[in-house]
A and B are shown apart, each in its own frame.
Chain A
Amino acid sequence: MTHTLSVLVHNTPGVLARIAGLFSRRGFNIDSLAVGRTHDPTVSRMTIVVEGDDQILEQVTKQLHKLIDVIKISDITKDVYVDRELVMIKVHAEAAARAEIMQLVDIFRARIVDVGRKSLTIEVTGNEGKINAFEDCLRPFGIKELVRTGKIAMLRGLRSSSVDKENSHKEEDVD
């Protein structure tokens, strides 16, 4: 099944290679990966979406824990979380089709960020379902290019998968 891992790491060169290596060694393909600094500039957050056998993934997660630069891993797959992805789509848009495309943009609360002679570039954020639906709607017009950031996710409510400064240690959120 598909897992979403939220991983806090030390913001050092090589940390991405170490993490990627543990997945590739076991034949896992990373579906999406989003990396960025957290509010603490020495710490980065990786949101990794990966598909694979639950048992093997549990083993990979344990191996990830062993990396010195990994501070915390949460497999939030079964938690309640908000997730977003930002996608930019460059779609073929002759004059005749523009009105219809702009209507779709409205419906999906997307935004047009660039206009070309025969194209529109549209930005849309949302979860996977919304983005897939939007992509399907635009496909008949002719998608020229599509770029996506990869998913980022955050647990709902007060719970967090950040490091508690008072009591920072590796833990896996399983509840």
Chain B
Amino acid sequence: MAKKELSGAQILVKSLEAEGVDTIFGYPGGQALPIYDALYDADIRHILTRHEQGAAHAADGYARATGKPGVCLATSGPGATNLVTGIANAYMDSVPVVAVTGQVPRRLLGRDSFQEADIVGITMPITKHSYHVEDVSELAQVVKEAFHIATTGRPGPVLIDLPSDISLSKIEYREPEEICLPGYRPPADADPEQVIRAAGAIAGAERPVIYAGGGVVISGAHEELLRFAELLAAPVCTTLMGLGSFPGNHPLSLGMLGMHGTKYANYAVTECDLLIAVGARFDDRVTGKPETFAPEAKIIHIDIDPAEVGKNVRVDIPVVGDVKRVLNQLLAVLQPRLGEAWKKKIEHWKKEYPLTYCEKGELKPQEIIREIYNLTGGDARITTEVGQHQMWTAQYYTFTRPRSFISSGGLGAMGFGMPAAIGVQVGCPEEVVFDVAGDGSIQMNIQELCTAVNYELPINVAIIDNGYLGMVRQWQELFYNRRYSQSELRNPDFVKLAEAYGAEGIRVTKRAGVAPALEQAIRSSKPVMIDFIVDREENVLPMVPPGGSLSKMIG
């Protein structure tokens, strides 16, 4: 008896199931119809967003919260181009996302056909890899490879572009073969010689500082990092992406470093004699002026991506490997050390230069973040949009566990937070999820509130509403002589808008209203949007002016 033939679309769905995919975020359209038809019979939950960008960000948020790859699906042309910001975002923050796009049938390729876009070409610089499927017989193998590439080594987005005639053509299904990619061998263990060199430098250091980035979260190395820091009695600062990789309430925690980092983190980095970078990439928002970054320090750089070594700053001892494995390699050879004088100096800085804001006058953004922290016991999953509210969240919500802070770091994409929160809530249905938003950012993907309502996802949105594109206004105040060009916003009534979508809307204008509104939101089984009217011209401080030295902060 002949084996049953499957269509390309059915093979795609079967291959996704084989990869353990249980959720897809997507939006149908012409050339994706065969795929959607196959999904109709599948055991995969499909979340219909209201915009493809929302689908890409939701898949990204899902991946960051769960550690599993996120999958998004769109049609050809505009469906595919609407994914682009989401794919770029996942690329910059090394998030495993597999994006599947419908494509016009092969006979129409390259003819400017209706809804044709060269999405493989467009996304080439923002994907880890991409596939244009040219034969249905290779599809199962492509899907297997795509997930392997997206999730291993330094993770990243992989695109699969699938012409609709291939989705429709039938073939006898064959299991994919073992993956053989001679050009792709991500490193795992580090060169033992480099580990010994690093251990030697650590043993000889008097003022070490650990600088932890998103790689610690991705690698699942937070426990190793804690042991490493405690063994060395070395203070730990984290990047934005590294928040939660080290408990923010630990005595050795310095909080975030860089442009809006704590003064004590930036002073510690400036005066340390050994900087141990762990899964971080010396972004310009971290280093400020690279020439004056950690000027007295030897730098050890632990990272899985050899291309990061020496990219932005000089590195003395590169250790290329998976962060978790390298930390274990180091833990096996290191002796405990005590650095009383350095510890005292850090404690002095912490006491002298704490994060502060004025709690008088109008409602302050910082106190809202603190209240969210207090009411959730630091246990919520927090997403953000991009801007002032994002930095206040990074500064004032004390993140204590990995994958609890989910934010667009590298790309800085406004509109990320709400769809990401949807992805997070889908992946973590029992947990409290907050999107801390600005009144500008929230409007970039506000349509996704409808998605949250449709799927009964009880996300909470806290809008820090100052009637400005706040970060733009802050830079105009500081660097453009208060010329507020195009940064003031006239907004809709967010409460009515929330209600129109079928969510709950609350407006808070006074300090006393903050906690009750947040409590109501956490209790509610519906999505809730809270419009916090705050002090209009509050600034994010301290601040290292762009391109400046970390030791020279404003505020």
User: Chain A residues in contact with chain B, CB under 8 A?
Assistant: 9-10, 13-14, 17-18, 21, 25, 55, 58-59, 62-63, 65-72, 163, 168-170
Complex formed: what's the CA distance from A92 to B309 in Å?
Answer: 54
Output the least CB separation between A174 and chain B (Å).
13
List residues of chain B with CB under 8 Å of any chain A CB.
120-121, 124-125, 128-130, 132, 134, 149, 181-185, 305-307, 309-311
Leading 10 A-B pairs by shortest Cβ distance:
A62-B307, A168-B182, A71-B183, A68-B129, A68-B184, A169-B185, A70-B183, A71-B182, A68-B183, A63-B307
- B134 CB contacts on chain A under 8 angstroms: 13
Report B-chain residues with C-beta under 8 Å of the C-beta of A58: 310
Residues on A with beta carbons closer than 8 Å to the beta carbon of B132: 13-14
Q: Is the CB of A59 within 8 A of B125?
A: no
- When chains A and B are docked, how far (Å) is the Cα of A65 from the Cα of B121? 19
List, sorted by A's number, 7 A–B pairs whose CB atoms are closer than 8 Å: A17-B124, A25-B125, A66-B128, A66-B307, A67-B183, A69-B183, A170-B185
Q: Chain B contacts of A10 at CB under 8 A?
A: 183
Taking the closest CB of chain B, its distance from the CB of A56, in whole angstroms, is 10
- Assess whether B181 is in contact with A65, with CB atoms less than 8 Å apart: no
Apart from A71-B182, A169-B185, what are 15 other A-B pairs with CB-CB below 8 Å? A9-B183, A10-B183, A13-B132, A17-B124, A18-B124, A25-B125, A59-B311, A65-B307, A68-B128, A68-B129, A69-B183, A72-B183, A163-B182, A168-B182, A170-B185
Q: How far is the CA of A14 from the CA of B184 in the complex (A)?
A: 17
Complex contacts, B310 vs chain A, CB 8 Å: 55, 58-59
Q: Which residue of A lies closest to B156 (CB)?
A: A66
A59 and B307 form a contact (CB under 8 A): yes
* Cβ-defined contact, B307 with A14, below 8 A: no
In the docked arrangement, what's the CA distance between A78 and B370, Å? 59
Q: Once bound together, how far apart are the Cα atoms of A65 and B181, in whole Å?
A: 13
Q: A13-B132, A14-B132, A21-B125 are in contact. Are A68 and B181 (CB under 8 A)?
A: yes
Closest to A13 in B: B132
Decide: B124 and A66 in contact? CB cutoff 8 A: no
B299 to chain A, nearest CB (A): 16
Q: Which A residues are CB-close (under 8 A) to B128?
A: 66, 68
In the bound complex, what is the Cα–Cα distance between A58 and B129 (angstroms)? Answer: 21
Chain A residue nearest in CB terms to B181: A68
Q: In the complex, what residue of chain A is closest to B134 when comparing beta carbons?
A: A13
What are the residues of chain A within 8 A of B184 when measuring CB–CB?
68
Distance from A136 Cβ to chain B, minimum over Cβ atoms (Å): 40
**A170 lies within 8 A of B125 (CB):** no
Give B125 Cβ to nearest chain A Cβ, in Å. 6
